[in-house]
Structure 1
Amino acid sequence: MTDRESLEAELASFLGEYERANNSHDISRVVPLIAEEATYWFSDGSFRRVEEIRSAIERTFATILDEVYEVRDLEWPVATVDVTVCRYRFAWTGVVGGKPRSGQGRARTS
């Protein structure tokens, strides 16, 4: 395994942990995986810094019951020990307002 393959495997493992933390619906498991200076783009707005993001995720957990969140199609345009950029697709299913709902989108981390 090359150094890049090893790094990508480690980063994919991290995103797997992020996916599992989200599916636990326990914000205390999710927050430690978010960088202090992160920005999240949700369908209802942009959220900056971990406390804003925490509040947005808590609202999502309260709105989408029984949510299942899935990370798909990981791509690593840049992967070094100093800088990484990841693109991926995500999908979710759950119950909103008593009705089954689902959604999907794209994400980028760096």
Structure 2
Amino acid sequence: MTPEEFITSYETALKTQDWKVVAPLISENASVTFSNGIVHIGKENVKRAFEKNFSVIKNEKYAIENITWLIKDENFAVYVFEFNWTGIIDGKSVSGNGIGTAVLTKENATWKLLTEHLGRKSN
């Protein structure tokens, strides 16, 4: 799998809203910062955060786009991107978007998400 293929796999996995599908793509040392500023460190904490989102947001559609690679080598890759999502929370249609930075690391010949920082777009 290439870093580009990782992004496609990650986006597809998130769309399933099933942690068992997402988990193989996440490093044990992962850190994820959501756009609300809350930081989740360690795969177990990331799991809890993702599962909470999966339970709250129904029928979520998630897209990663406008990817810019900052560096790619044999063991690390860093990219910035835009994201957007839609879904249903408490019976109401909701949506959001923002910008992100992600760091991938190669572990046992497999690309994994080491860190992802999601933020809001400035107006």
Same-fold status (TM-score > 0.5): yes
**Residue type of the partner of 1:54?**
K
SS of the aligned residue for 2:2 comes to helix
Q: TM-score normalised to the size of structure 1? A: 0.87
Higher relative contact order (CA 8 A, sep 6+): 2
| Poorly superposed stretches of 4+, deviation over 3 Å | none
Richer in strand (by share): 2
| Uncovered stretches (5+) of structure 2, i.e. residues with no partner | 104-123
Q: TM-score normalised to the size of structure 2? A: 0.78
Distance 1:82 1:53 in 2: 22
Distance 1:38 1:89 in 2: 20
Distance 1:56 1:105 in 2: 18
SS of the aligned residue for 1:81 comes to coil
Alignment counterpart, residue 34 of structure 1, candidates 26, 31, 34 = 26
Cα-Cα RMSD: 1.4
1:70 aligns with 2:63: yes
Larger Rg: 1
Richer in helix (by share): 1
Alignment counterpart, residue 14 of structure 1, candidates 6, 26, 34 = 6
